[in-house]
Structure 1
Amino acid sequence: MSNLRVAKTEEFDKIFSILENSFPPDEYRTYEGQKFLWNHPKYTVYVIPDDESDCIKAFITVWKFEDFAFIEHFAVNPFYRNQGLGSLILHEILNLLQCQICLEVELPKTDFAKRRIGFYERNGFFINHYPYAQPPYTREKQPVPLLMMTSGNCVSKDRFDSIKETIFKEVYQTSN
């Protein structure tokens, strides 16, 4: 059992630093855009702090909707990788939320992307082979071709379209 908990406002800068160092620029909001979400009622940032230091070991951002949850960002601080934290966090989030969870992954074009997909598959997620691209967060950013993975099982095309519509409307504030 980890000490996963809801992040504190004063931890935002540390979380954003991990985010910046873990994702390509097209895959996250600006500092201001990310901070604006902090108090959104459907959005929660969870962290595992390092009780020995002032560091954040890992964070995961979750959008909770009526019948599913969406993991928008999930990253382990490079200093704490390869210790099983990622699997631990996913299992705790699955137990905490008690609903189907969706997340986006990069296309399996690189060894790193293939390893990430394998990590999620080992933790009970399935690839849904339907066309999907993350809309740009701002006009300056580009859409990102991705795959959607879901916990428990693959979903039907109708279910996929419903999930995608909710994510585009609520998370990316656009229509598909």
Structure 2
Amino acid sequence: MIQQEKFDQVFDLMKMSFPESEYREYKNQRKLLSDRRYHLLTEENKQGEVIAFLAGWEFDTFRYVENIAVSPSIRGGGIGKRLMERFMRQSTLPIILEVEEPQDDLKKRRVRFYERLGFYLGDFKYVQPPLREGVLVLPLCIMSYPEKLTESQFEFVRKVLYREVYNFNNLSTQRH
């Protein structure tokens, strides 16, 4: 189990890297550490401070990258790529992640980053259920590795994510 101090550093980096709607409140994020399927990979500097992390889930048929972040002062130096490659090497299961729709240069660069690692941008509409009270669903895209998802694979992945990651069971109202 990750130490409290390290978790606090991960959470601080999460707050710096994502809009509030894209991560859980502290107590709910911390609670995930007791779920055997949830894993945190961290990268630390020489002083032992967390400078990057990857939060992922291990399910029976696929793995899911929930968050990956690198400290803003050192982005672009290859740490995110190393974390992703480490996660990818840990299992032979397919990997799923969510990205924002590639509508501007920054979002397109993120998609290209994952494509260079072998991920495919999906063709099916997807929304991320809210991670906090009072937050709306967020339109995102699913990327997959090592192959593009078929529609039935996408539907299966979506149902697992909604149920297990988001604790969201009202699937019928979220189809787009």
Q: TM-score, normalization: structure 1?
A: 0.92
Q: How many residues align?
A: 170
Q: Which blocks of at least 5 consecutive residues in structure 2 are unaligned? A: 172-176
Superposition deviation, residue 7 in structure 1: 4.1
Identity fraction in percent: 31
The 8 Å contact of residues 41 and 83 in structure 2, kept in 1 or not, is answered as no
Answering whether residue 31 of structure 2 is matched by residue 36 of structure 1, we say yes
In the TM superposition, what whole-angstrom CA distance separates every residue of 1:11-49 from its partner, at most 9, and x where no partner exists? 111100110111111111111111111111110111011
CA distance in 2, matches of 1:8, 1:64: 21
Aligned twin of 2:66: 72
Pick the aligned partner of 1:46 from 38, 41, 44.
41
Q: Which blocks of at least 5 consecutive residues in structure 1 are unaligned? A: 1-5
CA distance in 1, matches of 2:2, 2:80: 17
In the TM superposition, what whole-angstrom CA distance separates every residue of 1:125-151 from its partner, at most 9, and x where no partner exists? 101110100001122111110000001
SS of aligned partner of 2:90:
helix
CA distance in 2, matches of 1:96, 1:147: 24
Q: TM-score, normalization: structure 2?
A: 0.92
The 8 Å contact of residues 7 and 47 in structure 1, kept in 2 or not, is answered as no
CA distance in 2, matches of 1:26, 1:87: 25
The 8 Å contact of residues 26 and 143 in structure 1, kept in 2 or not, is answered as no
CA distance in 1, matches of 2:12, 2:25: 12
Q: Please tell me the residue identity of whatever aligns with 1:39.
A: S
